[in-house]
Amino acid sequence: MNKIVLDGESLTFEQVTAVAYGRPGEPRVELSEEARGKVRRAAGAVDTLLERGEIAYGITTGFGAFKDKIISREEVELLQKNIVLSHAVGVGDPFDVPTTRAIMLIRANTLARGFSGIRLETLELILEFLNRGIHPVIPEKGSLGASGDLAPLAHFACVLIGEGEAEFDGEVVHGREALRRAGLSPVVLKAKEGLALTNGTTIMTAVGLLETAKAANLARFADVAGCLTLEAVNGTTAAFDERIHAVRPHPRQVACAKDLRQILEGSEMTRSFDPVNVQDAYTLRCIPQVHGACRDTVEYAVWLLGIELNAVTDNPLIFIEGDNIEVISGGNFHGEPLALAFDYLAIALSELANISERRIMRLTDEASNSGVLPAFLTEDGGLNSGFMIVQYTAAALCTENKVLAHPASVDTIPSSANVEDHVSMGATAAIKLRAVRRNLETVLALEAFCAAQAVDLRQKRIGEEKKLGAGTEPLYRAIRERVPFVAADDHMKGHIDNSVAVAAKFARTGGF
């Protein structure tokens, strides 16, 4: 992917992640010729409205509760600068560089539709930020999710006018200095531009998209980790039989069961029919039902974000038909669709962590695995605590997830003198989702760490090396490349960090 051409209508998940995690200019981002024409047309319409002296929200009026304050033509530029400076009130840690790059790309794509009134010069400067590696410092917190992500987007816009701070070449400097080092000049915002830059769902879309992409991969990682656990405790594949799922045909449940059968293909570590042990505990037997339902939430978020990526979400919007120009105020900045989806996904990821933690318990509790494995995965229990406290950490993260799974979307705090009287909290939902996803990533890594230890112990008890499944073998090898068998109590933090690195790589790339 050497180049991405934005037209406002066809941006994809893959393109966003390529730009987010890529190097500046690799891939290079450009505007399509059609988008250039649409942007010029809308900017020309704004000039026409000014010449006519027409009253239009955000162009010749104030914002929010000041919507009825008329702004003179001479003060229009100052109005746009003021909205950027006054709205830059974000707090908290800044977004990382990949998220910031996703934010800029998605914002540029929205503006490329040609309904926002931004000038081509300003839009192309955003693309230069991406291509040359200027990354505005954008605090995570401050958005209510309507009117969009005002505060954090204002921090992004500040750097376009030579204010604020930006990271360039590994160093955080003043916005004007970052522009100078990159050989660029700030813009002077014209009518409508400040509002076009700060109004919309870009922050929550960017964070949510990157997290959804990782969630999709972690759902697959959970399948593999669960199968490795099943092998370690001598579980059965009977519950994954195609016929069972065909009669309850939820698509993702069916697909998950199929994936599990493929992951375990060729395994010599599962048990055949045993009349005195015909079924496993729910955490193993119900993987298709639980993981499949969680996959449903991922698919919903993917579907929703595919629409939002190519939507126009600022306000007001400019519609042009012949010589007729209409500036119409609406509410596309409201993040309710995203907030609901991200809350739903956070709940699902919490469930993936919950069932994984219960499988860790089954690996470490000798009574729960019918004595197939030694207590706490150590052969010299008492002197050694083994993996006892690994399960504690997983339990702590799951408990934190239960708090974070409380939906942000059911909350609202009216703002702007009660003009903006219902807000989505979509950015909050996205940031919570990120925290839940990180916890899930760690819990799954802990399960893989424990399962690899358990496989080695079981192989030792069997007295011969048995084949793992086609899909579990790569996970086992990935863990063992970084983490040794723990024969006696050791400093576990390094082993956990290395296991998390395996899960993090899979979350990012979909492979070991």
User: Quick one: tokens of 153?
Assistant: 């987007």
State how far the Cα of 411 lies from the Cα of 431, in Å rounded to an integer.
15
Q: How far is it, in rounded angstroms, from Cα 40 to Cα 52?
A: 18
Q: What is the CA radius of gyration of the chain?
A: 26
Pick the catalytic residue: 21, 57, 282, 476?
Answer: 57
- Beta-carbon-side half-sphere exposure of residue 182 (alpha carbons within 13 Å): 32
Distance CA 28, CA 4 (A): 6
CB burial of residue 23 (10 Å; 0-12, 13-18, 19+): exposed
CA dihedral sign, ordered 204, 210, 216, 218:
negative
- CA distance linking residue 15 with residue 108, whole number of Å: 13
Q: Where are the beta strands (DSSP E) in 267-399?
A: 317-321, 324-328
Q: What is the largest CA-CA distance in the chain?
A: 89
- CA distances in angstroms from 486 to 94, 129, 232, 392, listed in the order given: 38, 48, 16, 18
State how far the Cα of 189 lies from the Cα of 347, in Å rounded to an integer.
Answer: 42
Q: Is the dihedral of CA 343, 349, 355, 356 positive or negative?
A: negative
- Is the bond preceding residue 316 a cis peptide, omega within 30 degrees? yes
Tell me the two tokens of residue 166: 């930006």
CB 137 within 8 A of CB 165: yes
How many angstroms separate the CA atoms of 286 and 48, rounded?
63
Distance CA 459, CA 166 (A): 54
C-alpha to C-alpha distance for 43 and 120, rounded to whole angstroms: 8
Distance CA 394, CA 405 (A): 16
Q: To 10 degrees, what angle do helices 492-509 and 426-462 make?
A: 120
57 assigned to active site: yes
Catalytic residues: 57
